[in-house]
Structure 1
Amino acid sequence: MSLKDIIGQEKAVRMLLGILIRQKVASSYLFCGETGIGKKTAAVDFAKALNCLNPQPAGPRITSDSPVDACEECESCSKIKAGVHPDFLLISPEERLIRIEEVRIIDDALSYKPFEGRKKTVIVDDAETMNISAANAFLKTLEEPPQDSVIILVSSRPDLLPETIRSRCSRINFFPLSKASCREVLAEKEKDAEKFSLAARLSMGRPGIALSSDLHEERKWVLNLLRGMLHAEKDGWSSRDEMQRWFDHALVLLRDMTVLKLTDDPRQLVNNDLEGYLTGLSKSVDVKVIIYIHQELSRIRRLLQFNLNKSITWNYTASMLRKGLVF
């Protein structure tokens, strides 16, 4: 895939192609937006374009025939795609954390001039997971960027990055995809019509989430845990990742309950195949209570970054749901 092939991010792609056409490449970028909307893919494609040996025209998104986009066929593009290009480095968190050791790897990689390509390119995925030591060390790298290098931070929570880091990066914003674009991305994976429709709805403009997991099975798991909470069963989460996924789905279910109470229009539901279940769950509950629960779950979801105790969080959440959702 090259930049011109990215679906649903026209504005961001035009900006990146424009940068390449003008040859005004900054030393550092911050790619921001929700999880699963193509930020990392765009970062890798940008790295390909920077070092492509046989660049191609930018396509219809840019009124220019300048050959600046990746060809996807040359040795450089193939190596970056495989993650083995000597001038390309992708850093991802280990155990949800980027430590100072990873920053030292970045510094070491950037200390050498490009070996094969035009630009040394480093991508830091989930950059907001840098701990304090790593962030402080990384700031020094951004303050004195090596020549012929490009650093791209990819983040779904840029507000968690220090302002000193954010201010030194050129920001490129990415947004959730339209329904049509989301369906276009998912059509290549899901051939079952029913599952395809459900995945398109549940992803809510973030097709990467649907491509990386079975949202149909995941929702079943979420509903089972919800029943467990309402029946005072023990903690059913096994990790913080599971906690985050459960809260994400639960918030959408509460959103649908609110929509039902206010509009009684199942066409507006994300989980429209659960209309009967959601109607029963919210039948005798005031809409203000549902909105309060949604606000409280949103607050807990934000606090998960602080490693909340699983059992305490389960018990608190379950207790609140049992008090609010009256059958």
Structure 2
Amino acid sequence: MPNWLLSGQEGVKERLVLDVVSNKVSHSYLFTGVSGKDGLAAGRFLFDLIKEHLGGEESDYREFLNNGEAFLKEQALELVRLANQTGQGYGNFIVVDGLERMNDSSFNILLKTLEEPPGNTCFVLTASSQDLVPETVVSRCRVIHFGNDSMDKAREVLVGEFNDENEETIETVVTFVNGNLENGRVLLGNKEKLKAFFEMRDFCLKLIGGMKFADKLQFAQGVKADGQTRLLLMVLLFVLRLDMVNSALGKGLGLFSASRLAFFVEAVVVALQDLDKNVNEGLVLDNVLLLFD
């Protein structure tokens, strides 16, 4: 079972889970803003997801560790040799930690491989900064940036400022606002908004769990009347994304597969985009609710 507990990187985990359960895994990833054990842990997390959900039991996992020394031409040639070995599915999974250690010769060798990647190989490349990697390499990778410790900082500050709230409430809010301290303050500082948020959260949990059409319709009518359609969709997206990641890790509600949840996530994202285009709110919300009939 994939196990990666790096705090504050929920967005990264969600992105990787979505790629895997949607069967849209890239041949090359560039993790920026991370190196060392955290980058390696993220690479292993992706590898385990692929094995579990895409049938990569026979895959070979290899790491080029960052030992602080330059990544020379000979090592780059070895990387290419391993990448071109035959295998089933994602037969070769190669992690290169500290890409900034490469010299021009090494980068050129890597670039040629990324331009025509072997069909059965997935690269995970890590770098402390995207600026240290040639744009020609960056352009051939799916770039995922690792954020700072904003989640931990927001959690610490909000626990101190709102000590009348229990830790579970604060943790849920911090996750919902993705570590944005000001947004967390706004939500926790307004009891009516906080109550409405949790009512919507509970409704969304019941919605994906199955609920009577009449109850669904009654709640939706109240949301429309209050002009809260966007907020409800954002809360639903939050609930779905969280369950999608947890399902991929074997800890979800168990009502839908991770791939089905990914479908719901994409549908709600489109619904929010429709609101931006001034599509009728009632129509948008009704179409989303119909997904769960």
**Normalised by the size of structure 1, how large is the TM-score?**
0.43
**Highest RCO, 1 vs 2 (Cα 8 Å, sep ≥ 6):** 2
**Normalised by the size of structure 2, how large is the TM-score?**
0.47
